[in-house]
Amino acid sequence: MNTNLRKIAEICNTSSDFRGKIIYGESLADHTTFKVGGNARVFAQPDDEKSCMFVLSLLRENRVPFFILGGGSNIVVADEGLEGCILCTKALNALRLQDDVLYCGAGTSFDKVTDFCIAYGLSGLENFAGLPGTVGGAVYMNARCYEKSISDVLLFADYAVPEDDQVRRYTMNETDWDYKKSPFMARCAEQKPCLILSAAFKVEKGEASLIEQRCRNFINDRKEKGHFRYPCAGSVFKNNRAFGKPSGKIIDEALLRGTRRGNAQVAPWHGNFIVNTGDASADSIKELVQYVQSEVKKRTGFSLECEIIFIDNSLLGFYTIP
What is the set of active-site residues? 235, 307
**Residue 42 in contact with residue 96, Cβ under 8 Å?**
no
